[in-house]
Amino acid sequence: MTQQEIAALAMSGATTIVAAMATDAWATVRDGFLAVVRRRSPELHADIEAQLDDGAVLLVQGQGAEAARRSLIRQWQLELERFLAAYPDAAEELEAQTDRMRAALAAPQQQHNQHNNARGHGTVNAVQDGNQFNFSMDSGPRLPAGPARQERED
């Protein structure tokens, strides 16, 4: 495989990996890519897995996501180029995996709608897609019920 072909495959793989990081396809893409790494270099597996997870967290947080996305693509392109230089026999498998990753991205994404309401001094603890959200409502002082309430409202 020529250096140009390695660079092209690395860019394609990097772009696909990073594109999947903030989608429902992430687990599938992540596991598929890690399987390629594990077969060639089990000792790199834990480091690569940690880097993937850290990158996904950056994109999911949303702040500076576009700059993070560009940086992660460059990072993963370099990582994949190094990986392919060390394991040139992995090129065909990485290319096939990249095609599967793109197919996973093209599949319809799940849409989640969750409605949680907190009234009065209520609290809502909600979990969606593995993220926990905590909301508290403070509607100000409560008015007593009955005749005293009527007098205050007048």
> In this predicted model, what pLDDT tens digit does every residue of 83-140 receive, in sequence order?
999 999 999 999 999 998 888 888 765 555 666 666 666 776 666 555 655 555 554 5
pTM value is 0.66
**Helices 3-20, 91-106: crossing angle, 10 deg rounding:** 30
**What's the CA gap between 45 and 32, in Å, rounded?**
12
- The average pLDDT across 35-44 equals 90
- Average pLDDT along the chain: 80
- The average pLDDT across 25-34 equals 91
In this predicted structure, the answer to whether residue 141 has a pLDDT above a threshold of 90 is no
In this predicted structure, the answer to whether residue 62 has a pLDDT above a threshold of 90 is no
> Lowest-confidence range among 32-46, 47-61, 107-121?
107-121
**DSSP-based three-state secondary structure for 112:** coil
Looking at residue 93, its pLDDT comes to 94
Looking at residue 138, its pLDDT comes to 55
CB-based burial, 47-57: b 16+ in 10 Å, e otherwise: ebbeebeebbe
Looking at residue 111, its pLDDT comes to 52
Position with higher pLDDT, 151 vs 51: 51
How many CB atoms sit inside 10 A of residue 72's CB?
Answer: 22
**Beta strands 123-128 and 131-136, pairing class:** antiparallel
Looking at residue 82, its pLDDT comes to 93
Residue with tokens 């993070």: 68
